[in-house]
Chains A and B, each alone.
Chain A
Amino acid sequence: MSAAPGLLRGKSPGLTLARRSLALILLCLLLLPFADLRVIAVDPWGELWRMAQGFAWPDFLALENPLRAIALTVSVALWGTFIGALVGFPLALLFHHSRLIRGFCAFVRAIHELFWALLFIQVFGLSAVTALAALAIPYAGIFAKVYAEILELTPRAPTDALPNGVDRLSRFLYAELPLVWDRLASYTRYRFECAMRASVLLGFVGLPTLGFYLESAFRESRFGEAGALLWIFYALIATLQWWGHRRLLPVLLIGALFFLGPWPEVDSDLLWRFVSHDLWPAPLLDGDLAGLGEWVTSLPDLLPAIGNTLLLALMGTVGSLILALVLWPLASRHFGRPWQRVGGRLVLVVLRSTPELMLAFIFLLMLGPSMLPAWLALALHNGALIAFLVARHADGLKTGMTDLPATGRYAYELLPRLYPNLLALICYRAEVIMRETALLGMLGVATLGFYIDSSFQYLMFDQAFFLLLVTAVLNIGIDAISRRFRPREVPLDDPCSR
């Protein structure tokens, strides 16, 4: 007779993953005391109640000219995605051949859309160029990477069947592109949904999209108006499959041109001065190395900011993991009654459709400025997104023993099959969470984003640009770490999780 193995002892892949996840959660718990999680607001529940009222009784009549904001939001998202795809596609073809291109793409997608917007506002003002560039540039990098991954999986059989001597372009057009077209299209569609959220967010830096009106309505406690705007946004996302139909796209793209604006008058001298001079530390341009040391000491204290950024990213990732584990049964056919599932699915869709910054902003008004609202927003948004994907995966599985109780089904039948995939999704998502963490600084949480935002406000572009570079490097680092941590050979890799 042998003794039963001790707690978490064993070599099965499930136990390995469980140990890894528990270590991550433990690390997060150990570091939690260093996070600033105070509730500063006086009456958080009253505030929440008033917001909920505004959401339940939206005041559509108070909106001034919402159509213009809607049209601009959609137009920016459409053209931002379109230009991003147009640039990203050729980059994807070269992606695996050129280290330079891979590095470039990693860099542009490591910086959040809003930071690109802050950068371009300095040159192009609150204009359509700023909005489009803010979306198109990071999206080009993302498209390049994901398209390249999809193209890599092209089935080889049709190419092998071709006669000898077919030129490269014909081979690509006939025997490669059509085989992956559906996946490319569905990813582009998902990215467009992200672009809609990002386009709303551009309102937070002053571009007159839906987010602009949302922010002012929330800030001035006009919750009925805010509720109405949120409803409009959810309606737009929910009806996307109809108004964003493939056949309507050319019409939409052309129509959108009429709503994009204003177009800036670009002063090329100013632009050149900005790129060649303003963005760089003056001592560096003068070749004054001693001065450079002084410049570095004039930077704000970066270590706490970096620490906060990393801590928040860790907390966000662990929070998403736990929430995803709890939430996915809400939307799965293996649990609950049909009407409960409809409700669960609705909650998840609303949570994942709301831009994280928006969620954080709402929690911030409720709880006051600390890391708590940021954490809640990151965990809820990403947890719901992953829960939704996991539920979809679970619905494709068949359980062997039908009459197990719900906990048995969860723990013995489903979770062991879903967990590697869930953890892989979390690892993919860690990069996104990191990017958003930096962004939440714009709401006053003392992450890197806070200093970037204030550097731009004080017109210290060299400092802002340097901090952006630091953010990008951190992001690329986190991406590399999560890639090592990620379980290998996962059955389902959904590009729509990135």
Chain B
Amino acid sequence: MALLTFDSVDLGYGTQIVLPALTLTLEAGERVALLGQSGAGKSTLLAEIRRRLGKAAAWCPQGHGLVPLLSVYHNVYMGQLERHAALANLFNLLRPRRGAWQAIETLTHELGLEGLLRRPVEQLSGGQRQRVAIARAFYQQREIFLGDEPLASVDPHQALRLLERIQTRHSSSIIALHQHRLALAYFDRIIGLRDGHVVLDAPARELTLSQLDALYPDAGNSSHEDRAATTT
């Protein structure tokens, strides 16, 4: 069953077109990896997918989008902000709701953030912030997970564990990332973007590492993970 269909659509911001004449179909139940250099159009595509899916998709943005002054609990709670009345949200800032507290405590346990619930996000390490951002996306409790480089600031070992969690909790996932081995091993389908065009779209099992590396002509020998970290 098709989740989304783009039929020769121009995507961009305002009058600036980033992805011209995009044709693409995304299936429900698929695990899709989006690859491509910074500026290839991944974020534009994800933003449009997010807009079309609306409340069906959980969203984990690039650069986390966390609020440094608020605690881990409040940042995760923001995933369900729209489900409560304004006054309830206001009161929750002063005194956490019991049910939400317990649910979020379980979630953060699962992601290795135990004992940090009251800690302001500004005091966390980069990897911990990344996991808070993922916890917030989990807390939205949606069918589909949309992530713009949600694994950019964690080590390869953790990235693998987090990816497994993401995929067990969501029936579909569309994730932009830079880790090619992960993309090959843990996704059903890989879409490669370059300069606003889809230059690669195939089942992951049919692809090899060198085919993926060809998406990054400027990179030379530098590691993709390093560059991903500097862009976030």
A contact set with B: CB distance below 8 Å: 157-158, 160-171, 173-175, 178-179, 181-182
Contacts and interface: CB of A to CB of B under 8 A. Distances in A.
B74 A169 contact: no
Interface string B4-22: 0000000000000000000
Interface string B49-63: 000001100010101
A168 B87 CA distance: 11
Nearest to B61: A161
A173 B74 CA distance: 11
Nearest to A174: B78
Contacts of A158: 65-67, 78
A64 B55 CA distance: 70
B89 A163 contact: no
Contacts, number: 70
Given A173-B93, A174-B70, A174-B89, A163 B82 contact: yes
B69 A179 contact: yes
Contact of B61 (A160, A166, A170): A160
Given A164-B82, A165-B55, A174-B89, A181 B69 contact: yes
A359 B39 CA distance: 58
B173 interface: no
B1 interface: no
B56 to A, nearest CB: 10
B80 to A, nearest CB: 7
A160 B89 CA distance: 18
B70 to A, nearest CB: 5
A178 B86 CA distance: 16
B130 to A, nearest CB: 13
- Among A163, A175, A179, the one with the most B-chain Cβ atoms within 10 Å of its Cβ is A163
B140 interface: yes
Interface string B71-88: 000100011111011100
Given A161-B64, A174-B93, 11 more contacts: A157-B63, A158-B65, A158-B67, A162-B78, A163-B82, A163-B140, A164-B82, A165-B82, A174-B67, A178-B69, A179-B69
Nearest to A181: B69
Contacts of A167: 82, 85-86
A158 B89 CA distance: 16
A162 B58 CA distance: 10
Contacts of B199: none
B150 to A, nearest CB: 12
Contact of B65 (A161, A171, A181): A161
B147 to A, nearest CB: 11
B141 to A, nearest CB: 10
Nearest to B140: A163
A160 B61 CA distance: 8
A247 B55 CA distance: 42
Interface residues of B, number: 27
Contacts of B133: 161
A168 B133 CA distance: 22
A386 to B, nearest CB: 31
A171 B78 CA distance: 9
Contacts of A163: 55, 59, 79-82, 140
Contacts of A182: 69
Contacts of B82: 162-167, 170
A167 B64 CA distance: 21
Given A157-B61, A157-B63, A169-B89, A164 B69 contact: no
Contacts of B81: 162-163, 166, 170-171, 174
A181 B70 CA distance: 11
B227 to A, nearest CB: 20
Nearest to A178: B69
A182 B133 CA distance: 23
A163 B89 CA distance: 14
A178 B66 CA distance: 11
A79 to B, nearest CB: 25
Nearest to A180: B69
B68 A173 contact: no
A165 B56 CA distance: 13
A178 B70 contact: yes
Nearest to B85: A167
A157 B133 CA distance: 12
B90 interface: yes
A246 to B, nearest CB: 14
Contacts of B64: 157, 161
Contacts of B67: 158, 174-175, 178-179
Contact of A169 (B69, B79, B90, B140): B90
A160 B47 CA distance: 10
Interface in B16-46: none
Given A179-B68, A179-B69, A181-B69, A164 B55 contact: yes
A173 B140 contact: no
